[in-house]
Structure 1
Amino acid sequence: MVCDQVKSMAVDVDRMSTLPPEVATEDATKQSFWMPGNYQRTVKRTEDAFQACNDIVVCFQERARVERQYAQQLSEWSNKWKPLVDSSPLYGSLLQAWQCFLSSADRLAALHSSVCRSLVSEDGDRVRTWQKETFHKKLFGGFKESQDFGTGFARAQKPWAKRLKKLDKARSAFHKVQRKEQTARDREVHAKGNPDVAIEKQKKIQEERELAQQETEKVRARYEKVLEEVTRYAPRYMEEMECIFDQSQEEERKRISFLKQAFLSVHRHLDVTNNESVKAVYNELHNTLMAINEQDDLRWWKNTHGPGMPTDWPQFQEWTPEKKSKKGKKEKEVESQQGTIERSVMIGGVKVRALYDYDGQETDELSFKAGEEFLKTEDEDDQGWCRGMKDGGREGLYPANYVETV
């Protein structure tokens, strides 16, 4: 491989020697890494990478603001609609489905707030910390890493640049004597075809041409010697330059590897499609929507506000005088307890299931969660309250329309 590169460089050097000076300069500037000064693009890569880290942090800080604003808007939307939904004319499973959209928005708002925090405090800080540890600023500007690479390249290239300068000087001298020889040849040809030129003049012109030719051969030999010296030095020059370049490549490889992991971390935080919490939110919402049951809702409405409501139909009642009795306080308490037991045995035993959560406001009220089952011990009164008893023996009142008969 080195031999091929040496041949290629020899061709480049030779091609440069045959081009006009302005073309050779342009070629050296635009093309080969091996030409003097062209290593600066590799050195500048360090400073460019530092600036790229700044841009990455700012970029994802802006994305974090977008996530925070989205979370804020979700919360505002949910808070705005909650009272309206809760007081809407919908009921049963359809109302629960609508309410689930709002609770899902609250949970998503919390998740997107978490994404915002991760982008700033985790990903952003990670890049900043690595940047501080990797790039060491100099007192008067620039970075130690880029200075070290620049110094290494310059040191390796100095002998090569010196030889190239010597080669360029030899090439210029060779081209100069070539032009001089060509001028002498043209004069000789013109003199031979011109009868007005004297023989002595023609001989003199011929001698000048021969001297120019000898000078050309002499300068050519010097030029070829310098070119041979440059070609012979090329492998060592390439080895030293490649050594510095490999060090630069290794630093760049570490940068690329780190930024790859940083981007993957950002992706992991942004990709909510693989977030189990997000999946849980939408799975619950989907299950709630699928649980909408028109038959259950209609049955609830029928039993709560329709023909299924318990009603005391008018009946003929005889007037029965009340009997006054003088019983002791203790006997009245026993009688009251017996009456309660009889009433619960007589009316109780109707199993009901809670449709909604209810927190008792008074000490004589029951509290329960949606889906919980207990016994109804007394039918609904005029105010819409029933009496019930839970498994632990706890008795109390509850709204009749908060349960359904099992």
Structure 2
Amino acid sequence: MCACCCPCMAADVLSPGFWEIGHYKHNVRRIKDGIDQLDEYAKMVRERAEIEAKYTKMLQQHSEKWRSYVDRTIPAGTVKTVWNDLVGEASTLSKIHNNVKDQLVNTIVRETAEYRKNNLHTSILKGPKEIREIEDGFEKAQKPWKKKYDKMDDKRKAYYSACRQEKSALVNLQNCQADTSVSQDGASKFRERHEKMKEEVQKTKIEYEKALTSLNEYRSVYEEAMAHVFKACQEKELQRCQFFIEIFKGTQQFLADLVRNNQISGLHQQLEQTLRGSDTESLKRDLHQWSLVNGVESHADWPVFVEYSPEIRNIAAKGSGKDSGGVILTRQITKNEDIPAVPGTATVGTNFDQGKTSPKSSSDSDTNTFDSRKTGPSKYKMQQPPQVVTNWDRGQPAHDSPPLSAATPDSAKYGDFDDFQTSKPATVLYDYNPLEGDEIQLRKGETIEVLTEPDSLGWCTGRKNGTIGLFPASYVQCV
């Protein structure tokens, strides 16, 4: 089976997705490619006709030249008779090739042009009418489905975002309960924040489920509309392939007249068998294979409700501002979130932005932001001893780990960071051991030079003993 009547075999159309929005384009392109194939086949036949015409002319000149020579120089007799017969073979053969040339031009090329004219009504600006009708039919069938699908997708993103914010608020509340320096008013704010986000999760979940139900209820209508247009595409393709087979047979018959004997005849007999096997049933089998990949019988991953899972984490590229639909991590520190922290015991922060052990508010934890200075890969190891990841007030006395502040819990910047200025000395309040090569070690009581203000994740650049590196801003106090 030739490639032009087996479009299913093309490598660029083997990917599934007929039911996806806009993926009907393969069927539209197949019709456009069919037009090009008709034109190219007519071009090929015309080239062969030109070859036959040139060969006919050369044979005729050859015959006339040597017939004149034989008539003038060869005496009558057996030699002249045989020679004239051989010269006559060239003349007869030229007539045969000239007849093939006429049949190719007057039959194959003409029938191809007539088929194109009758089945593809081309306009000057918008292309063939039949292609526009198919494309408009698919767009009309998909328009209501696309509207409902986009609505469902928006509700899903809102639900996932609420889940991330609720989890972040829970982490801040757990850290607040473990810190005895937090006031009752501050603890109440963290608790209210968490309760508010729990309500938002339930609300967005109901809206997501409702939109998904509406989408699935419309699915049968969508399938019926798409199948109707696809059936029209299949019928047009079957008609085109049947025409191709007919003109192939006609072309073969004309060429077989030249070589219907000796060794070449066997080649054409084999070709005839192949063409006889290229019947309507084989074409239908090809079209069925197309349907399994790019039609109504193809596999589809229909949308279903997917419960939010914090374990499904998506490591985003540096500097990416897109909402990837999952939790954005910069470093993962494992902790059993179901076990509350024991009072008086340092706990490891589990902000979902997975940054270094730095203060992080609930608002900042909901953004897909990375530390602009941190370009190395994330390392999954725990600092010993663990430190609490919290906000803290500069006026509070030093503890074993930075205390938590209730001031502005939803702010991405911490109030105590406003006092930092570049190139200022600062006293180290807590010990810190680096986790990555671009960090510097801190020891409680020593002095360090602060070179930059804290970034959105609470990290500063400083210099100590001639070494420059990153450190948590909450671990020092400016002098």
Instruction: Indicate the TM-score class for this superposition, using the shorter chain for normalisation.
Output: 0.5 to 0.7
- Unpaired runs of at least 5, structure 2: 1-14, 266-479
1:158 aligns to 2:143 (yes or no): yes
* Counterpart contact for 1:118–1:269, Cα < 8 Å: yes
Counterpart among 230, 239, 256 of residue 254 in structure 1: 239
After superposition, where does 1:287-326 map in structure 2 within 5 Å? Answer: none
Distance 1:35 1:207, change over 3 A: same
Aligned to 1:274: 260
* Counterpart contact for 1:47–1:142, Cα < 8 Å: no
SS of the aligned residue for 1:273 comes to coil
Aligned to 1:36: 21
Q: CA deviation at 1:95?
A: 5.2
Q: CA deviation at 1:248?
A: 1.4
After superposition, where does 1:16-95 map in structure 2 within 5 Å? Answer: 32-85=17-70
Counterpart among 231, 243, 248 of residue 216 in structure 2: 231
Aligned to 2:92: 107
Q: CA deviation at 1:275?
A: 7.7
Distance 1:170 1:83, change over 3 A: same
In structure 2, C-alpha distance between the alignment counterparts of 1:131 and 1:226, rounded to whole Å: 46
Q: CA deviation at 1:69?
A: 0.6
Aligned to 1:27: none
Counterpart among 180, 183, 186 of residue 201 in structure 1: 186
In structure 2, C-alpha distance between the alignment counterparts of 1:242 and 1:227, rounded to whole Å: 22
Counterpart among 160, 175, 199 of residue 160 in structure 2: 175
Counterpart among 222, 227, 244 of residue 207 in structure 2: 222
CA deviation profile, 1:213-252 (whole Å, cap 9, x unmatched)? 2211221121012112212211221111011110111011
SS of the aligned residue for 1:274 comes to coil
Aligned to 1:146: 131
CA deviation profile, 1:124-180 (whole Å, cap 9, x unmatched)? 111111111111123533122122222222221111011011112111211221221
In structure 2, C-alpha distance between the alignment counterparts of 1:148 and 1:187, rounded to whole Å: 58
Structure (1/2) with the larger helix percentage:
1
In structure 2, C-alpha distance between the alignment counterparts of 1:87 and 1:190, rounded to whole Å: 119
Q: CA deviation at 1:97?
A: 4.1
CA deviation profile, 1:254-279 (whole Å, cap 9, x unmatched)? 01101111121111112522389x99
Q: CA deviation at 1:94?
A: 5.4
Which one has a bigger Cα radius of gyration? 1
* Counterpart contact for 1:75–1:109, Cα < 8 Å: yes
In structure 2, C-alpha distance between the alignment counterparts of 1:36 and 1:207, rounded to whole Å: 42
Distance 1:89 1:172, change over 3 A: same
Counterpart among 104, 121, 129 of residue 114 in structure 2: 129
Q: CA deviation at 1:187?
A: 1.6
Counterpart among 234, 244, 253 of residue 229 in structure 2: 244
In structure 1, C-alpha distance between the alignment counterparts of 2:245 and 2:198, rounded to whole Å: 65
CA deviation profile, 1:385-404 (whole Å, cap 9, x unmatched)? xxxxxxxxxxxxxxxxxxxx
- Could you tell me the TM-score, scaled by structure 2's length? 0.48
In structure 2, C-alpha distance between the alignment counterparts of 1:254 and 1:69, rounded to whole Å: 35
- Could you tell me the TM-score, scaled by structure 1's length? 0.56
Aligned to 1:351: none
Aligned to 2:5: none
